[in-house]
């Protein structure tokens, strides 16, 4: 019997089209980071329990919360991923980062530059940088 394989590349390409990624390094727990971002950017990030990402490794399950914010009266969306759960990480190639902010807008690159400039003003953020999705091998882990 032929084995069927799901091709994730088309789904991945569609999900990450018209988006930009900002990596964030901070010691803040997720609820505190969301509070900081909500106050500074006038957003309303909230945990979306339906989109929690679960990775299975060596018979263990690791859960990574996802926080979302839909910009009012637009189709634009922000997604904040927590990248670490203990010693496990959602994107192994970004071990120095704690969170990933995905920007899905009409002008994601411009919006990412503006957000990056504002993140650099926040004392609790030690590191923030724009990531190139083509350089991330584990990008499929972010599909929600």
Q: Is 61 a member of any domain?
A: yes
Q: Is 137 a member of any domain?
A: yes
Q: Is 8 a member of any domain?
A: no
Residue 99: name the closest of 141, 64, 51 by CA. Answer: 64
Host domain of residue 21: 17-142
pLDDT at 4: 57
Q: In terms of C-beta distances under 8 Å and separation of at least 24 residues, what long-range contacts does 26-30 make, across chains too?
A: 26/98, 26/99, 26/124, 26/125, 26/126, 26/127, 27/98, 27/124, 27/126, 28/124, 30/65, 30/67, 30/82, 30/99
pLDDT at 6: 52
pLDDT at 1: 59
Q: How many domains does the chain have?
A: 1
Q: Is 2 a member of any domain?
A: no
Q: Is 7 a member of any domain?
A: no
Q: Is 10 a member of any domain?
A: no
In DSSP terms, 82 is beta-bridged to 99
pLDDT along the chain (144 residues), means of 10: 56 62 95 96 93 85 93 90 89 89 93 96 95 80 66
Q: Is 94 a member of any domain?
A: yes
Q: Is 115 a member of any domain?
A: yes
């Amino acid at each position: 019997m032929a084995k069927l394989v799901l091709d994730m590349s088309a789904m991945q390409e569609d999900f990450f089209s018209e988006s930009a990624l900002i990596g964030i390094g901070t010691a803040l727990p997720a609820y505190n980071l969301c509070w900081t971002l909500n106050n500074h950017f006038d957003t309303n990030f909230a945990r979306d329990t339906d989109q929690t990402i679960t990775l299975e490794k060596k018979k263990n399950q690791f859960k990574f919360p996802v926080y979302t914010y839909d910009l009012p009266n637009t189709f634009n969306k922000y997604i904040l991923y927590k990248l670490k759960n203990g010693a496990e990480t959602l994107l192994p190639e970004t071990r120095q980062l704690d969170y990933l902010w995905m920007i899905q807008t009409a002008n994601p690159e411009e919006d990412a530059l503006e957000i990056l400039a504002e993140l650099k003003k926040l004392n609790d953020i030690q590191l923030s940088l724009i990531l190139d999705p083509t350089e991330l091998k584990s990008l499929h882990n972010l599909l929600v």
